């Protein structure tokens, strides 16, 4: 899938009310939907040897989007402000969601790979189908079928 050129999306600002697909080097993608009453997130498991999460392919209430520093940021990246609820290409994010059943003690989270593209969605992708094109294979995901 080709990115439509978005590099930054402020989920609390002007972008509120939309839907996006977050692309990285992995075939696994993440969808964020803010078109309803509460923001939602879904991990769409990709093809190949990707990790499997019991919460894959289901919508969960998105509680926060936080910047994530894995220790590999360049000095330029460290100098660029990165705030909560802002998606930035070239950076990593922690997607914090409410666990099913509304566990009051713990929240779940995913930390996807470095964001390489943000695609605006008019509709949500079908589940359990390849989320990246065959020419966009990430061999670190393992053997491809």
Summarize pLDDT for 6-61 with one digit per residue, the tens: 788 888 776 667 899 999 989 999 999 988 888 999 999 888 778 888 999 999 99
d(CA 53, CA 45): 8
Which strand (E) or helix (H) includes residue 61?
Answer: strand 60-68
Q: What is the residue-wise DSSP string for 100-138?
A: TT--SS--EEE-PSPP-EEEE-SSPPPTTS-SS-GGG--
Q: Measure the CA–CA gap between 144 and 96, rounded to whole angstroms.
A: 30
CB 89 within 8 A of CB 82: no
pTM, rounded to two decimals:
0.78
Pairwise pLDDT comparison (112 vs 132), residue with the higher score? 112
User: Is 75 in a helix, a strand, or coil?
Assistant: helix
């Amino acid at each position: 899938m080709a990115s439509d050129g978005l590099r930054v999306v402020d989920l609390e600002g002007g972008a509120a009310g939309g839907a996006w697909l977050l692309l990285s080097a992995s075939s696994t993608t993440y969808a964020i939907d803010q078109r309803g009453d509460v923001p939602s997130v879904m991990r769409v498991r990709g093809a190949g040897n990707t990790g499997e999460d019991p919460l894959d392919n289901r919508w969960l209430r998105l509680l926060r989007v936080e910047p994530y520093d894995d220790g590999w940021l360049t000095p330029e990246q460290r100098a660029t402000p990165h705030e909560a609820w802002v998606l930035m290409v070239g950076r990593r994010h922690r997607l914090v969601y409410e666990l099913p059943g509304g566990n009051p003690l713990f929240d779940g989270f995913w930390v996807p790979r470095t964001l390489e593209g943000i695609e605006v969605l008019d509709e949500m992708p079908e589940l359990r189908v390849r989320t990246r094109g065959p020419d966009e294979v990430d061999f670190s995901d393992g053997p491809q079928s």
